């Protein structure tokens, strides 16, 4: 029998192991070749990232590639904050913006698996404000450059699936189409990228009476759908979205560095945001709000300055490459990571199917469709980019990107903090070079 001293020593040793266990959610490959990747080709990728940094396309990057559940590439390069002399590190934190959307979509699908709703259910079942939506239809004979609109009743109600697939007719103000953008601006609707007073419930009340851009289900219109979906999660679960994420997703997956609002002790790990411009290098964005044009306004500080009450399920999270890779690996594994199951394999299969058919995917480009929370590659030939049919992916406003290739068992995450999005094709190049490193 152990003495009390020996027992306490054993318990202390066990507690010390807990962080190590979490850190091993995605173990490191001894060499890239262990998982069928070429070290030499990954060295080329590493150099390309450094070339982008040297040419001042971005200040710094953190890239991660995992295959067969093991990390084969984790590279931090350049500066997280050039003015402060702070280099990028593997645990640097990034504003992931629209990479929040797949996590909110996961939360909704977890409730779907609990029998809380069907995807065909009208959103008005939970948010009555959407009961009698109107659609803005262009008047006959008007020019597309100077259109006028009439409002007609929607042919049917918005469904949960419409929110997941961005086919509801809800848009973003920052697309800048004057008719809709002016209505959103006048109503005080937030795109979720700046300090916003109140809650998402308040934002939904402002958004719901506004006209839709199309009849539900008839067109793809990337917009505030996932913010509305996040509020549906709150209503259905009885929990605020941050609490649902923390208790149901982040803690079970060991995502200890993913938050809506940064704890004070982690603020020093947040990368600065830079504006890239041809011929003039990079300009660090300050703490004041940034206005790129009449309709694009955002802040680099809303995750740590402000009321901390507005939980944007479409744009609000801060995370790290390693944390987000855990989320991706869970999906690649069919909803499970290290013995913790959040979804069934069949539900993940449903999420990564193309649900938009032949609708015009103007945002994803040729050969792409949309699943339940992210883009889906449906035709490799049309994309003109190396990869696999069935790969699913998405990015974020501040130039972040992830993709999951089920055929190759490959996960990739590249994080920068740069506007405009994806300068000098750095995000697309990362995918190309990572995929071309497969040699087995």
pTM value is 0.93
Mention every residue, 6+ apart, whose C-beta is less than 8 A from residue 155: 135, 215, 216, 218
Note the pLDDT tens digit of each residue in 332-371: 999 999 999 999 999 999 999 999 998 877 778 899 999 9
Note the pLDDT tens digit of each residue in 236-286: 999 999 999 999 999 999 999 999 999 999 999 999 999 998 777 899 999
Pairing of strands 94-95, 134-138: unpaired
CATH 3.40.710.10 range(s) for the chain read 38-104+244-435
Q: Which two tokens stand for residue 423?
A: 């300068």
Note the pLDDT tens digit of each residue in 89-134: 999 999 999 999 999 999 999 999 999 999 999 999 999 999 999 9
Grade residue 5 by pLDDT with cuts at 50, 70 and 90. very low
Whether the upstream peptide bond of residue 420 has omega within 30° of 0, thus cis, is yes
Residue 394 C-beta-side C-alpha neighbours within 13 Å = 25
Separation of alpha carbons 228 and 206, rounded Å:
11
- Residue 207's φ and ψ, nearest 5 degrees, are -80, -40
**Predicted pLDDT at 362:** 76
**Predicted pLDDT at 359:** 84
Cross-strand bridge partners of residue 368: 377
Architecture of domain 38-104+244-435: 3-Layer(aba) Sandwich (3.40)
Average pLDDT, the chain: 93
> Contact 214/221 with Cβ under 8 angstroms?
yes
Separation of alpha carbons 204 and 76, rounded Å:
39
């Amino acid at each position: 029998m152990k003495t009390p001293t020996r027992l306490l020593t054993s318990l202390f040793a066990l507690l010390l192991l807990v962080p190590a266990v979490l850190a091993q959610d995605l173990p490191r490959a001894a060499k890239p070749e262990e998982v069928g990747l070429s070290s030499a080709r990954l060295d080329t990728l590493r150099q390309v990232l450094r070339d982008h940094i040297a040419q001042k396309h971005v200040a710094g990057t953190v890239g991660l590639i995992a295959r067969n559940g093991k990390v084969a590439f984790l590279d931090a390069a350049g500066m997280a904050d050039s003015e402060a002399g702070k280099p990028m590190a593997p645990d640097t934190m990034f504003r992931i913006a629209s990479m929040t959307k797949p996590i909110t979509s996961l939360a909704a699908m977890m409730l779907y698996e609990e029998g809380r709703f069907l995807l065909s259910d009208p959103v008005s079942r939970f948010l009555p404000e959407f009961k009698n939506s109107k659609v803005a239809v262009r008047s006959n004979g008007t020019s597309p450059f100077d259109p006028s609109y009439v409002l007609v009743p929607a042919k049917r109600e918005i469904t949960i699936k419409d929110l997941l697939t961005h086919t509801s007719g809800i848009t973003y103000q920052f697309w800048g189409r004057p008719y809709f953008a002016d209505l959103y601006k006048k109503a005080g609707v937030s795109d979720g990228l700046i300090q916003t007073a109140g809650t998402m419930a308040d934002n939904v009340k402002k958004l719901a009476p506004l006209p839709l851009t199309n009849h539900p289900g008839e067109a793809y219109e990337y917009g505030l759908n996932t913010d509305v979906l996040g509020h549906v999660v709150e209503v259905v679960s009885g929990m605020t979205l941050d609490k649902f994420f923390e208790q149901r997703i982040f803690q079970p997956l060991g995502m200890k560095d993913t938050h809506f609002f940064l704890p004070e002790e982690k603020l020093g790990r947040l990368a600065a945001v830079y504006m890239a411009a041809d011929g003039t290098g990079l300009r660090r964005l300050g703490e004041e709000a940034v206005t790129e044009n009449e309709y694009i306004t955002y802040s680099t500080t809303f995750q740590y300055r402000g009321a901390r009450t507005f939980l944007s399920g479409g744009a609000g999270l801060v995370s790290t490459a390693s944390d987000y890779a855990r989320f991706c690996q869970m999906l690649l594994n069919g909803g499970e990571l290290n013995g913790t199951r959040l979804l069934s394999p069949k539900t993940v299969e449903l999420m990564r199917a193309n649900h938009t058919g032949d609708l015009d995917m103007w945002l994803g480009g040729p050969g792409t469709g949309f699943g339940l929370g992210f883009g889906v590659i449906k035709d490799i030939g049309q994309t003109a980019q190396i990869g696999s049919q069935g790969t699913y992916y998405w990015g974020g406003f501040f130039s972040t990107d992830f993709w999951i290739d089920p055929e190759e068992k490959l996960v990739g995450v590249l994080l920068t903090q740069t506007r405009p999005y994806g300068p000098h094709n750095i995000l697309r190049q990362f995918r190309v070079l990572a995929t071309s490193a497969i040699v087995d």
